[in-house]
């Protein structure tokens, strides 16, 4: 099993470049230390942010993209047999890497109940509906809703957790962790809140605990609630269009 791990760093302090750089640098140095003895190919996803990568190859989204979009990005750019999506503030233990390698042949799985870190066989999303691919690129839906769009495809592939204590919550920090996976100690800001993105909590749903029918109802509400803002953002740019329009031949000639 050849693994290709994508460490995803997402902008959290867009209005404070000093805090932004400090935040990402801290977690990246911790990641490099954790990977020193691992024979795993690394790529850094800079999701709406930019900072020194310490020599790790970079894929950069100029604007922060949704969780689902970054899953698709991992699948499309994987140069191994399996890709690993790993948030920058999380790390996989040695037991976790061993457990992953023992699951060679399975389409997709997670290390924790809250699927912050997932592993997928290359080509996992080849059959994903084009509508779901398009919706995954709609940032205004927020992180959680876009994740639910591809979660159905993962379920078709038998998505499951491979940790025996998958429902255990760690005490330090108080976030999902087990013998395979852990959060790197430090500050873990809520990117949805900081970027003012919609979340299910805004609609009275905590921890994804709602029926499929309820989620479908909320999906429609979230889309409608965000369309006005999306329209305003788009219309604010209309004065930026070129005076020459789309006719390239009217661009002035210069020797």
pLDDT digits (tens, 9 = 90+) for 28-73: 999 988 887 778 899 999 988 999 999 999 999 888 888 888 899 9
**What pLDDT is attached to residue 84?**
96
Give the helix/strand (H/E) hosting 96. helix 94-101
**What pLDDT is attached to residue 172?**
57
In tens, the pLDDT along 138-193 reads: 666 666 667 777 877 888 888 888 887 766 655 555 566 778 888 888 877 777 66
**67, 143 contact by CB (below 8 A):** yes
In tens, the pLDDT along 218-251 reads: 777 877 877 887 788 788 887 777 666 666 666 6
> In the predicted model, is pLDDT for residue 106 greater than 90?
yes
More confident position, 103 or 145: 103
> In the predicted model, is pLDDT for residue 25 greater than 90?
yes
Angle, helix 143-156 to helix 212-235, in steps of 10 degrees: 130
According to DSSP, residue 207 is labeled T
**What pLDDT is attached to residue 227?**
81
Spatial separation of the C-alpha atoms in residues 48 and 246, rounded to whole Å:
28
Domains and CATH numbers, the chain: 3-187 (3.90.550.10), 198-237 (no CATH)
**What pLDDT is attached to residue 167?**
63
Q: How far from each other are the two terminal CA atoms of the chain, in whole angstroms?
A: 56
* The three-state (H, E, C) secondary structure of 142-169, written as one string: CHHHHHHHHHHHHHHCCCCECCCCCCCE
């Amino acid at each position: 099993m050849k693994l290709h791990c994508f460490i995803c760093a997402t902008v959290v302090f867009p209005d404070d470049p000093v805090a932004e750089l400090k935040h990402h640098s801290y977690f990246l140095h911790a990641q490099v230390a954790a990977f020193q003895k691992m024979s795993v190919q690394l790529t850094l996803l800079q999701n709406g942010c930019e900072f020194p990568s310490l020599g790790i190859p970079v894929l950069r989204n100029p604007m922060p993209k949704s969780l689902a979009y970054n899953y698709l990005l991992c699948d499309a750019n994987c140069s191994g047999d399996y890709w690993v999506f790993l948030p920058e503030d999380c790390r996989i233990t040695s037991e976790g890497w061993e457990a992953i390698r023992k699951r060679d042949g399975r389409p997709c799985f997670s290390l924790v109940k809250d699927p912050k870190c997932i592993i997928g066989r290359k080509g996992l999303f080849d059959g994903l509906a084009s509508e779901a691919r398009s919706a995954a690129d709609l940032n205004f839906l927020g992180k959680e809703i876009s994740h639910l769009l591809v979660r159905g495809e993962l379920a078709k592939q038998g998505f499951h957790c491979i940790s025996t204590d998958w429902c255990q919550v760690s005490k330090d920090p108080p976030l999902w962790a087990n013998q395979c996976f852990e959060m790197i100690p430090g500050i873990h800001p809520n990117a949805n809140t900081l970027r003012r993105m919609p979340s299910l909590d805004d609609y009275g749903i905590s921890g994804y605990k709602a029926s499929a029918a309820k989620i479908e109802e909320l999906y429609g509400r979230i889309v409608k609630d965000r369309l006005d803002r999306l329209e305003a953002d788009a219309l604010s740019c209309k004065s930026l269009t070129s005076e020459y329009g789309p006719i390239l031949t009217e661009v002035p000639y210069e020797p």
